[in-house]
Structure 1
Amino acid sequence: MRTLEDRFGPLTYDLLSDRRGSRAWKIRTGSGTMALKANDPGSGNARDKTVELEQENRYLRRLGEVGAIDQGYRIDSGRWDDGHWLAVRWIDGVPLWRALSDTRGPEGDRPSVRPWMLGIARTWAQRLARLHAVGWAHADVQPTNALVTRAGTTEIIDYALACGPDPTERLPYRGALTHTTAPEIADAVLSTDDGTHIQAAPSADVWGLGASLFWCWTGHRPVRYEDDAKREDKLRAVAQGHSLDLNAVRPWPFPEFEMLIASCMNADPAARPTAAELAETC
């Protein structure tokens, strides 16, 4: 905090999360608000989280340089006695699950809701298309990494696992959240050892987008497996295509949105639309 105070002056902060080896705060200063992430030195995977934060810092620099994200998103980064910290611009939005909470029931079908939901999908696809255009995949497309603003637009956060054109000098990518993992990624994780890097493609991001919309609109994870199943069994269900029938779990009919989700979750990566194509059709 001292480094940020030296740069921005007096600040206040609130702890937002403390889980899986990392902590996040909302930082308020006289010149603006930011999000601060740092590794938890007391966790069992503190070293990996330190490397992951350093990795995200490098990626944000590169993505800003090539115009895939706003260069002003990354604010500062550095080392501290017990690891690494990263400060980024605060995005005033709510995670997708919360944003779509009112749509998960018959009463959610209102005249204003349908264009709003399509706008969420369209702007999310636009953000991903910028990454894909320069050879990157976000590789962790899931509801908590998509923030919906009051204007109904989607902003992407958390680039720590992103896959760029150069797969060297990085932690091996082994998939992200199982519930939104594309089948081809699940299959690759199951068929390789833990030290093998899996290069996520843009088409896997598109699957994650569709799976996230499925999950947050219906309230059901898109693939059928037990909550207490081992990760390997969950990945096997994903790889084998054990997806739920959207028609059976949708809260109300929305043909255009259903077609969008179905196209994103095509089992064949080559048959999925690109993020740019999605942005044009939403």
Structure 2
Amino acid sequence: MKTLEDRFGSLAHSLLCDRRGSRVWKITTGSEAMALKANVPASGNARDKALELEQENRCLLRLGEAGAIDQGYRIDSGRSDDGHWLAVRWIDGVPLWRAFSLARGPEGDRPSVRPWLLGIARTWAQRLARLHAVGWAHADVQPTNALVVRTGITGVIDYALACGPDPTDRLPYRGALTHTTAPEIADAVLSTDDGTHIQAAPSADIWSLGASLFWCWTGHRPVLYEDDAERRGKLRAITQGHLLDLNAVRPWFFPEFERLITSCMNVDPAARPTAAELAEAR
């Protein structure tokens, strides 16, 4: 943290997450707040996590240069004796699952909640549309990477797996969170070896957007499989279309939101709406 102290002066920090070989802190200074990510040197996958952080830093630089994200989002990055660290601007929101807690119950069926839910979906799509317009996919669209602020605007975080027009100079992409994996990505993972890079397309982000909204609104993952099933079995269930019926698990009747979700989760990538279309839908 010395580099950040040299740049910003005195700072306070609190550890938010320590798992899977990486740690995340909230850093506060006199003028701003940021998230600091670093690999855990003693973990078994320390090298892989350091490479992921280096990759995310490169992605943020390129996305900023392309105008796909605010250039001020990335604050700084560097190496230490222990690996790699990355500091980004703090987004003061709550993860999608928590944000949807009221909407998951029948008490969520109220006039104020409906436009709020649609606004979350549209502003999330707006963030993705900026990436898609310059040939990128976020490639890790899931509930924990969407932060909802009080006004119902969605912020997007974690660009470590983002896929750009140039697939060289990167770790192979092999999908992200299984529960929101698009069928075409699942099929590619199952049909290729672990070292093969899968180029995620914007349409895969749209499936993941719909799956995330399905999951957080209904309280049910959209694909049917056992919790203890191995990943390949879950991916096969996705490719085979073993989906829950949204009509059977929705907490209350909301036709506009249901149509948005089901259109995003069309099995045909070409038939899904674009992020720009979702952002403009009324």
Normalising by structure 2, report the TM-score: 0.99
RMSD over aligned CA atoms reads 0.5
User: What CA distance in whole angstroms lies between the structure 2 residues aligned with 1:269 and 1:20?
Assistant: 32
Deviation, 1:153, is 0.3
Alignment match, 1:60: 60
Aligned mates of 1:239, 1:161 — CA distance in 2: 21
- Spell out the pairing of 1:47-196 with structure 2 (5 A cutoff): 47-196=47-196
Query: Residue type matched to 2:146 in 1?
Result: A
CA distance in 2, matches of 1:185, 1:34: 32
Which SS does the other structure have where 1:23 is aligned? strand
**Cα separation, 2, equivalents of 1:228 and 1:234:** 10
Query: Which residue of the partner structure matches residue 197 of structure 2?
Result: 197
Q: What's 1:232 paired with?
A: 232
C-alpha displacement at 1:192, in angstroms? 0.2
- Contiguous gaps of at least 5 residues in structure 2: none
Deviation at 1:30, TM superposition (A): 1.0
Tell whether 2:232 aligns with 1:242.
Answer: no
Task: State how far apart, in whole Å, the 2-side matches of 1:49 and 1:216 are.
Answer: 28
| Deviation of the 1:42 alpha carbon | 1.3
| Alpha-carbon distance in structure 1 between the residues aligned to 2:162 and 2:69 | 13
Deviating beyond 4 angstroms after TM superposition, the runs of 4 or more aligned structure 1 residues are none
| Residue aligned with 2:144, SS | helix
Displacement of 1:43 in angstroms is 1.1
TM-superposed deviation, 1:245:
0.3
Deviations 1:203-239 (A, max 9, x none): 0000000000000000000000000000000000011
CA distance in structure 2 between the aligned counterparts of 1:144 and 1:181, rounded to whole angstroms: 14
Q: Which residue identity does 2:105 align to in structure 1? A: G
Q: CA deviation at 1:280?
A: 1.1
Shift of 1:80: 0.6
CA offset at residue 168 of structure 1?
0.4
Q: Show the counterpart of 2:274.
A: 274
With structure 1 as the length reference, what TM-score do the two structures score? 0.99
CA deviation string 1:39-64 (max 9, x = no partner)? 01111111010000000001101100
SS of residue in 2 equivalent to 1:216: helix
SS at match of 2:98: helix
Q: Which amino acid is 2:27 matched to?
A: I
Distance in 2 separating the partners of 1:28 and 1:226: 41
Q: Which residue of structure 2 lines up, in the alignment, with residue 261 of structure 1?
A: 261
Q: Aligned residue for 1:30?
A: 30
Query: Deviations for 1:58-89, whole angstroms, at most 9, x for unmatched residues?
Result: 11011000100000000000001110000000
Paired residues, number: 282
CA distances 1:1-41 after superposition (whole Å, capped 9, x unpaired): 11111110011101000111110000001121000000011
Q: What SS class does the counterpart of residue 150 from structure 1 fall into? A: coil
Question: Secondary structure of 1:256's match?
Answer: helix
Q: Report the AA paired with residue 92 of structure 2.
A: D
Residue number in structure 2 paired with 1:210: 210
SS in 2 for 1:278: helix
